[in-house]
Amino acid sequence: MKLHTYLNYGGNCAEAFRFYEQHLGGKIIFMMTFAQMPDPKDILPGQENLIAHATMELGETRIMGSDVPKERFQPMRSAYLSLFAESDAEAERIYNLFAEGGEIFMPIQETFFATRFAMLRDRFGTSWMVLHNRPQAA
């Protein structure tokens, strides 16, 4: 069994996925606008260039997403994507990228379980935990 995350955006899904691809090393493997759907006659005016579905490989998982009408979109609440960095420097780099235009809930810092840990929402509305785990004793 596999579990993947599906994200909704308020009109900036393509921008978010391209940002994650560029800065997190992901790879977009599928992206389709509403106008590209097999039967686009039922789409709402102004929705043509919004994303109907996108899929990205990111590390050892996939994230999927689409745009919803702006008036229905709400930033992610009560759930976080947890991104495990390979080093403190990588965790800080990613944190700084997400913090720009985002909302910080917990600044990056050392904790009892991680040498770097932060909680924030990026400018696209996605909530993240960014961490570099503390080495575990055997």
The 3 state secondary structure assigned to 2-47 is CCCEEEEECCCHHHHHHHHHHHHCCEEEEEEEHHHCCCHHHCCCCC
Query: Mean pLDDT lowest for which of 17-26, 74-83, 122-131?
Result: 74-83
Band of residue 138 on the pLDDT scale cut at 50, 70, 90: low
Domain end among 21, 41, 67: 67
In a domain, 15, yes or no: yes
Give tens-digit pLDDT for 68-114.
988 888 888 889 999 999 999 999 999 999 999 999 999 999 999 99
Give tens-digit pLDDT for 22-64.
999 999 999 999 999 888 777 878 888 999 999 999 999 999 9
Band of residue 137 on the pLDDT scale cut at 50, 70, 90: low
In a domain, 138, yes or no: no
Do residues 54 and 85 both lie within one domain?
no
Range of the domain at 20: 5-67
Task: Report which of 125, 75, 124, 85 is spatially closest to residue 108, judged by C-alpha positions.
Answer: 85
Q: What percent of the chain has pLDDT over 70?
A: 99
In a domain, 75, yes or no: no
In a domain, 76, yes or no: no
